[in-house]
Amino acid sequence: MNDVDSVADVIAVACLLVGAFFCLTAGVGLVRFPDVLSRMHAGTKPQVVGVLLIMTGSAIRLVGSSVIWMLLLVAAFQLLTAPVSAHMVSRIAYRRRHVRRDLLLVDELGGGPDLYRGDEPADAPPEEPAQAFVESQPDQGTGAGDGKA
Amino acid sequence: MTASDVAVRRLRNQVPLLVSLVLVWNLLWGTWSWANLISGTVVALAVTWLLPLPPVAGGASFHPLAVVHFLGHLIRDLALSSAQVAWDAIRPSGLRYGAIISVQLRTDSDLLLTMIAETLCLVPGSIVIDLDREKRVFALHLLSVRDDAELEEQRVRVRATEDRVVRAFGSAADIAALDQQPDQPARRPAGRSTS
C-alpha cells in the first residue's frame, strides 16, 4: 500500500514538474518569438500541455476529493478555448498587418488582387517597410516623378 | 400547430447543449445529487432561453474505433508539438523562417470544419489564420519551416488530420466525400504570390 502511494506521488510530482516546465517555455516563447503569429504558437501548444499535465498531477494527488471533477473541466475548457482565442488573435493580427513578412518563407494568403482586406486600418504599417521608407524620401526619383505628375 | 412544431424542433436541436450544460453544472458542484440535477436543468433552460445559439446544422455521428484512433493521434501530436515549440522557444539560435500556406479541404460541414480547425491549432507547427468557407480553403501559419519540401509535408499532414476527424465524427455523406477525392493533389489557389 505504501509502495503504491509513493509510486503515485512520484508520477504526480513528475507531471507537475514537466507541466510547469512547459508553461515556462510558453512564457519564454512569448518573450522571444518575433511576431504575433509565432507568439500564438507558444500560447497554445506548450501552454495547453502544461495545464493538462498540471491537472493530471493534481488529480493524482487529490484522488477521492470532489475537486477532481473541476480539474477535468479546466482541462476540457483549456483544450476547447485556447485554439479559438489563438485563431482570433492571429486572424486580427494578420489583417492589421502585424506580421514580420521578412521572416516568412511564403505567404499564400497575401498578395493577389482578389484578397479581402475589409477591416484593415488606415494607420496599418506598410506592407514592405523598406520600400515604403525609400518612397517617402523627398529627394528620391519617385518624389520627383510625383511632382511632375 | 406550426408554432409548437417549431418549438419542438428547436428543443430537439438544443438537447445536446442542454445535457452538456447540466453535466458541467454537476461537475462544478463536484457531487452527484437530484438537487444538483434539477437545479442544473433549470439553469441550462434559463441559459439557452436567455442566450439562444443558432442550431448546429447537420449534426455529428460517432464512430468509436475511429474516435479512439483520432484521440490517440491527437495526444501524440499534442505532446510532439509542445516539445517542438518549447525547444524553439528556448533554443539559443531562435526561430527559423515561418510560412503562411493555404490548404484545400474536402469537407463541407460547419461542425467538422470547426473541429478540424481546433485540432490543427494543437498539432505540430500550425495555427489556423483564416478559413474561406465557400472554397473550403484553410490558411495556416507555420512556426518553423526549412524549405518547400517541408511545406508539402505540412499540407499532407493537414489533410491527414482532416481525414481522421471526418472519419471519427462525420456523417456517411462526409466520409463518402472524402473517399471520392482520396488523393487529390494539394493544389494551391490561384492568385498567390511569394514574398
pLDDT in tens, B5-18: 777 776 777 787 88
Compare B50 and B9 and report the one with higher pLDDT: B50
CB-CB under 8 Å, A112 with B191: yes
Q: Please write the tens of the pLDDT for every residue from A14-43.
A: 999 999 999 999 999 888 888 888 888 888
Domains of chain A: 2-103 (1.10.287)
CB-CB under 8 Å, B101 with A66: no
CB-CB under 8 Å, A46 with B30: no
Query: Is the pLDDT at B143 greater than 80, yes or no?
Result: yes
Compare A112 and A51 and report the one with higher pLDDT: A51
CB-CB under 8 Å, B195 with A110: yes
Residue B161 and residue B138: Cα distance in Å, rounded? 13
Q: How confident is the model at residue A12 (pLDDT cuts 50, 70, 90)?
A: very high
What is the biggest distance separating any 2 CA atoms in chain B, rounded to whole angstroms?
A: 70
Interface test with A, best of B17, B127, B134, B137 (most A CBs within 10 A): B127
Q: Is the CB of B75 inside 8 Å of chain A's CB atoms?
A: no
Smallest CA–CA distance from B146 into chain A, residue: A105
CB-CB under 8 Å, A110 with B86: no
- DSSP state at residue A102: G
A-B CB pairs within 8 A amount to 160
Smallest CA–CA distance from B75 into chain A, residue: A49
Lowest mean pLDDT among A58-62, B72-76, B94-98, B156-160: B94-98
Residue B60 and residue A31: Cα distance in Å, rounded? 40
Query: Is the pLDDT at A95 greater than 70, yes or no?
Result: yes
Compare B24 and B193 and report the one with higher pLDDT: B24
pTM: 0.76
Cell 504575433: give the residue. Answer: A36
ipTM value for the complex: 0.76
- Residues B75 and B169 sit within 8 Å (Cβ to Cβ): no
